[in-house]
Structure 1
Amino acid sequence: MTSMVTSPPLTRYPATMSHPFFSLHRQRMIRVAAATPAATVGDAAANAAATIALAAQAHEQACDLVVFPELNLSSYAIDDLHLQSAQQTATLAAIESVRAASADLKPLLLVGAAIERNGRLYNTAVIIHRGRVLGVVPKTFLPNYREYYEKRWFAPGAGLTGLSIGLNGAEIPFGTDLLFAADDLPFLTLHAEICEDYWAPTPPSTMGALAGALVCCNLSASNIVVGKARERALLAASQSARAVCAYVYAATGVGESTTDLAWDGQGLIYELGELLAQSDRFVRGDADRLTIADVDAERLIQERTRVGTFNDAAALAGHPETRFRRIGFTHGLDERDTGLRRAIRRFPFIPNDPDKRDADCYEAYNIQVEGLAKRLEASAAKTLVIGVSGGLDSTHALIVAAKAADRLGWERTRILGFTMPGFATGEGTKASAWALMRALGITAEEIDIRPAAHTLLQGIGHPFASGEPVYDVTFENVQAGLRTDYLFRLANQRGALVLGTGDLSELALGWCTYGVGDQMSHYAVNAGVPKTLIQFLIRWCIRTNQYDEATDQVLATILAQEISPELVPADAETGALQSTESMIGPYALNDFFAHYVLRHGLAPSKIAFLAHHAWRDAAAGRWPADFPADARLAYDLPTIRHWLERFCTRFFQTSQFKRSALPNGPKVSAGGAVSPRGDWRAPADGTARVWLDEIAANVP
């Protein structure tokens, strides 16, 4: 049975798109490949020919690095033939063939070969680039248990550092202390280990990563038995996460001897624990034998700067970078637009896989419920006060509150819901607010804020109080502020906590009024949840029957509504409501921007590059089957740039003072949060100039 996830499809652009923005190297990305050549039983010349053919294909697909399987030139399962002089000589000739053929090829090649040195035979990775052998890395750990007998043939590489080896007339660096680093692309730095090395408790790649390697490579033979493919994937995923690196794994495929073993040819590419691409297995014939993905080196570098534990581990290990030799080479900056071989989630806070999405929704929902339950318990509150508008955020906060009350053994009537219609409140949202409160069985009341708002506007001399249709920010904030005033005074009166409703997206953008309910409360239960995730959480609640049928019907109605603050009356001619997204941009894009700023700290031009590839072909499909139709949108690069500039201005310059005064609330997503006590600390009087200048200089 073959695996279901293969290399992401190659996207290409018209030749007219020659701006450096479209170059992978300019975006500090590396195209890597795990190769599965057609193997033979000891025919080194045939193995060399298969290797060269795949290297040429990788060159045509603009790969920077290709990892071949363990002993792919010698063959793995040839037992005592490894100790035959003729076999060893044929292997040296195969290395020379690959070296010569690589002269006009772009990729760095990691090939496997058994090589004799000082009367010892080593299982090695040979690193070749453009006609040069850069180095030879011996395998550290030799398996000698169950079906493995490697110590019968090979000497271990453990402890071999600072050495060289004579190879086809050249003296080549040899040892387990080698890193390979492009002098013209500082982010192209790699380490090689071989098969059993990453089954060991102390994989050599750990030290390689601590010494600076961003891409760790594994040349593996690894016969297949039931369940082993999952084990390899687990090891590759965990090593890429722990070592904060990309991990490229290539295992031997069809063609090796099956005297006692079988081979599946599994190729894996992981980055920070996330699968980028994997091969089909058990492949014969003319099938594609390259598993390709683009590794984001900038993301890896930024992650290492954030994770102090990574630096502490390097210190405790005696700073491995002082013990490794960096073998330099000139790779060449590729300015071409070579497309993107990497799946970019349009909703990075939400997994594409339905099972993972349901698991994340379960966790997010319960984090909120338990966070609120603990706060209610600790405060000994008699009741809970919440403003219910009929919009997404207050709806989600209310259903979380209802579940928290259930778990605490509260009667839901201890939740006091208030709908507070203003000058622009729509009948639909007001009806939804009432329907939801009734369905949940909470205590529901209505306070018309218009008389108090009119009095306040009159008191400050606002033109609206005299009959002029002036709908400025003062007009809006008088209504928003009054609602919060009522909620806090009601809480004083009734021994309650005020539950906040503002979400992470609004807080990132500053789309909230200072001191008002979407920014201020006694507990901000939604502050760690972006708008796009709230929409999926509510859908998950409906699908998993968290509430009754009447509640589900109301939730479905609310999901279908336009997102609007309803602070300004609808257009007199068209009846169109005040639209939030027309003013601050699509939440899909804003959440995308927020994720890469908060979680990864990427430059805005890089975020634009990723967004461009994520969204440009969205209209053509490639959506998970259960994604709702209203989420299937497409955005071109000018649109992305427009809203990214506005996001950067709002996030970095105009909104931090609001986030600095946030009330408590649980962090929900690993994608980031904006709490001043948690993920995000920043000056409230900063400037967005650095980010805006970077966009202007780099985004076409």
Structure 2
Amino acid sequence: MEERDDQTFFNLYHHGFIRVAVCIPEVRVADTTFNTDSTVKLVKQASENNVVFAIFPELGISAYSNEDLFQQEALIKSVIQALSEILETTKDLNIISVIGAPLRVDFRLFNCGIVIYRGRILGIAVKSYLPNYREFYEKRQFSPAEDAQSKLIDICGQENIPFGSDILFEVKNIQNFKFFIEICEDVWVPIPPSSHAAMAGATVIGNLSASNITVGKSEYRHSLAASQSARCISAYLYAAAGPGESTTDLAWDGHAIIYENGNLLAESERFSQKSRIVYADVDLDRLAQDRMRMNSFGQNARAHKEQLQKFRKISFPVSFPAEQRILLEREYPRFPYIPSDPGKRDQRCYEAYNIQVQGLAQRLKSSGTQNVVIGVSGGLDSTQTLIVAARTMDLLNLPRSHVKAYTMPGFATTDKTYNNAMELMKAIGVEANEIDIKPSCMQMLKDIGHPFAAGEKLYDITFENIQAGERTSHLFRIANMRNALVVGTGDLSELALGWCTYGVGDHMSHYNVNASVPKTLIQHLIRWVAQSSQFSKEVCEILLDILETEI
């Protein structure tokens, strides 16, 4: 076996991730020299942090708020000079940069995103939709992408550079890394260009935006970026213009956000007076897997096949930092199903608990059964099942006595869990029962010749499974006798790991309300039920006591 190269293994680029950045430089209106310096500094800073892809705000080389200065020949020429300088000063950097600039093509002025890598312009994305309402009047200076006659242009000493709004960029040596650029208003329309680009294969969308700030607008930006990244099953990078733009008519907050499939990965401080960069590690493998599983994504792409075939694809390799140690900076929650934010956690608990209740209620209605049988141990899983069943009876306008609850102490049952079970059953108002399973377990141990029956202290798998099997066997026969359904208590974690007794054991039930609930969530559900007073004060106190019981 080959010896593993730890430097290579501990490198995010070898595990389906890429590091991306949204850069917000300080600018000065129509001062391309200052803006070029600000841009280059951030490109170098991002490169030093092992970023492979970085975007900048809309029209960042000239600034956005130039108004009719965009028509000045001096500004148009200085933009070309600035681009040449950026190409020269970044030619040794292994980073793809997307820079916003106005370009004159076919005697028209276009709002462009220029894709640069190692001193070469790979392609130029053009803004498709120009806002001309409220505070915007871009059509006064610019033309939309559809007005461009040229598909290839020459600029900065380079020839035949792809130009338009139909360009898809593919990084050949990083699997699943295809990106598309749209500009500001493009994402505010009903069907953004990035929707088609994602169906054509783009996994990363960059939006070069100016996006002046008004009260409440940042929340709407979040909604747009989150929704578009989720619909496109992609990463979505959004850069809004920051310090230095003119405040004669508008204000700016320099908002940078990065989303991945609806989840916020990074966000900048707003209203800063300094240049800013935000970073995120994007999981390309996850995006590819999600698209594969969501088969309707491919169906939608097939419906737009003719439109998708119009995209021009630019393929190129990059020299990413493959041989060095680059650890993920992205944080993954210790408990992935449980939000760390208390408000979100309570909302999830509310939903999960009521999903359980609704599911059981529908099963009882459809089966014509009004009774349930539950084994109650005094532990967390059976406690959650019991409070779900009790609330289900409330929902169906049935007395809680229709819940036939049985505690079945075995050889290792502690006084604490036994008392928890008895107190909880009585406090909730279900029918409380007790069956001592030790005699029937001992009979089986004798029948199969297990050493424990002869006095040997052997607590093996057979010993444990006999107790689980006896409990389940009792519950099913009681259900036969009492015209009831056995409601299971095992959680998702136990079922997924096989941490249960297969067959006649806790693996089996007529309906298991915990089957989709991970063990890490169970305690939060119980705590939410107690703290939100879903039951009486006495019940809630018992629930909190059960949560404190060490197992």
Report the TM range for the smaller structure's normalisation: over 0.9
1:394, 1:501 within 8 Å by CA — same for their partners in 2?
Answer: yes
Select the residue among 233, 236, 248 that pairs with 1:247.
Answer: 236
1:495 is displaced (CA, Å) by 1.4
Select the residue among 344, 366, 371 that pairs with 1:383.
Answer: 371
Structure 1 counterpart SS, 2:13: coil
- For residues 150-229 of structure 1, the aligned pairs below 5 Å read 150-158=138-146, 163-171=151-159, 172-229=161-218
1:63 is displaced (CA, Å) by 1.0
**Alignment partner, residue 84 of structure 1:** 72
**Alignment partner, residue 520 of structure 1:** 508
Q: Please tell me whether residue 295 in structure 1 is matched to residue 285 in structure 2.
A: no
1:502, 1:517 within 8 Å by CA — same for their partners in 2?
Answer: no
Query: Which amino acid counterpart does residue 414 of structure 2 have in structure 1?
Result: G
Q: Please tell me whether residue 426 in structure 1 is matched to residue 423 in structure 2.
A: no
1:233–1:175 CA distance, 2 compared to 1 (3 A): same
**Alignment partner, residue 476 of structure 1:** 464
1:519 is displaced (CA, Å) by 1.5
Structure 2 counterpart SS, 1:346: coil
Query: Which amino acid counterpart does residue 37 of structure 1 have in structure 2?
Result: P
Within 2, Cα distance between the matches of 1:381 and 1:254? Answer: 67
1:161, 1:177 within 8 Å by CA — same for their partners in 2?
Answer: no
Within 2, Cα distance between the matches of 1:538 and 1:93? Answer: 65
1:382, 1:494 within 8 Å by CA — same for their partners in 2?
Answer: no
Structure 2 counterpart SS, 1:103: coil
1:320–1:506 CA distance, 2 compared to 1 (3 A): farther
Q: Please tell me whether residue 540 in structure 1 is matched to residue 517 in structure 2.
A: no
**Alignment partner, residue 279 of structure 1:** 268
- For residues 573-612 of structure 1, the aligned pairs below 5 Å read none
Q: Please tell me whether residue 488 in structure 1 is matched to residue 476 in structure 2.
A: yes
1:188 is displaced (CA, Å) by 2.4
**Alignment partner, residue 314 of structure 2:** 327
Structure 2 counterpart SS, 1:239: helix
Within 1, Cα distance between the matches of 2:506 and 2:411? Answer: 19
1:241 is displaced (CA, Å) by 0.1
Select the residue among 444, 457, 463 that pairs with 1:456.
Answer: 444
1:299 is displaced (CA, Å) by 0.5
Within 2, Cα distance between the matches of 1:65 and 1:160? Answer: 27
Q: TM-score, normalised by structure 2?
A: 0.96
Structure 2 counterpart SS, 1:435: helix
Q: Please tell me whether residue 41 in structure 1 is matched to residue 21 in structure 2.
A: no
* Structure 1 vs Structure 2 CA RMSD: 1.6
Q: TM-score, normalised by structure 1?
A: 0.76
Structure 2 counterpart SS, 1:90: helix
Render the CA deviation track for 1:314-336: whole Å, top value 9, x for unaligned: 11111655322221222124232
Query: Which amino acid counterpart does residue 372 of structure 1 have in structure 2?
Result: L
1:160 is displaced (CA, Å) by 5.3
1:405 is displaced (CA, Å) by 1.0
Query: Which amino acid counterpart does residue 400 of structure 1 have in structure 2?
Result: V
1:17 is displaced (CA, Å) by 9.1
Within 2, Cα distance between the matches of 1:429 and 1:135? Answer: 68
1:514 is displaced (CA, Å) by 1.7
Structure 2 counterpart SS, 1:366: helix
Q: Please tell me whether residue 407 in structure 1 is matched to residue 395 in structure 2.
A: yes
1:433 is displaced (CA, Å) by 0.7
Structure 1 counterpart SS, 2:174: coil
1:337 is displaced (CA, Å) by 2.0
1:38, 1:50 within 8 Å by CA — same for their partners in 2?
Answer: yes
Select the residue among 284, 299, 304 that pairs with 1:312.
Answer: 299
1:353 is displaced (CA, Å) by 1.4
1:530–1:510 CA distance, 2 compared to 1 (3 A): same
Aligned residues: 546
Within 2, Cα distance between the matches of 1:304 and 1:38? Answer: 37
Within 2, Cα distance between the matches of 1:167 and 1:556? Answer: 70
Within 1, Cα distance between the matches of 2:306 and 2:312? Answer: 13
Structure 2 counterpart SS, 1:92: helix
Query: Which amino acid counterpart does residue 238 of structure 2 have in structure 1?
Result: Y
**Alignment partner, residue 250 of structure 2:** 261
1:141, 1:158 within 8 Å by CA — same for their partners in 2?
Answer: no
Tell which structure's C-alpha radius of gyration is larger.
Answer: 2
Name whichever structure is richer in strand by fraction.
2
Within 2, Cα distance between the matches of 1:100 and 1:158? Answer: 31
1:162 is displaced (CA, Å) by 7.9
**Alignment partner, residue 136 of structure 1:** 124
Render the CA deviation track for 1:165-217: whole Å, top value 9, x for unaligned: 11122121111121122222133221000000000111111111111111000
Render the CA deviation track for 1:343-399: whole Å, top value 9, x for unaligned: 211111111111111111100000001111111222222421100011111010001
Structure 1 counterpart SS, 2:51: coil
Structure 2 counterpart SS, 1:158: helix
Within 2, Cα distance between the matches of 1:99 and 1:143? Answer: 30
Structure 1 counterpart SS, 2:404: strand
- For residues 84-163 of structure 1, the aligned pairs below 5 Å read 84-158=72-146, 163=151
Within 1, Cα distance between the matches of 2:419 and 2:435? Answer: 14
Structure 1 counterpart SS, 2:14: coil
Within 1, Cα distance between the matches of 2:331 and 2:443? Answer: 55
1:220, 1:250 within 8 Å by CA — same for their partners in 2?
Answer: yes
Render the CA deviation track for 1:268-298: whole Å, top value 9, x for unaligned: 100000000111111114xx60011111101
1:522 is displaced (CA, Å) by 1.2
Within 2, Cα distance between the matches of 1:517 and 1:456? Answer: 15
Structure 2 counterpart SS, 1:19: helix
**Structure 1: which 5+ residue stretches go unaligned?**
1-15, 564-700
**Alignment partner, residue 558 of structure 1:** 546
**Alignment partner, residue 386 of structure 2:** 398
2:470, 2:505 within 8 Å by CA — same for their partners in 1?
Answer: no
1:248, 1:270 within 8 Å by CA — same for their partners in 2?
Answer: yes
**Alignment partner, residue 339 of structure 2:** 351
Within 2, Cα distance between the matches of 1:516 and 1:527? Answer: 17
Render the CA deviation track for 1:32-64: whole Å, top value 9, x for unaligned: 111110011111111111000111111111111
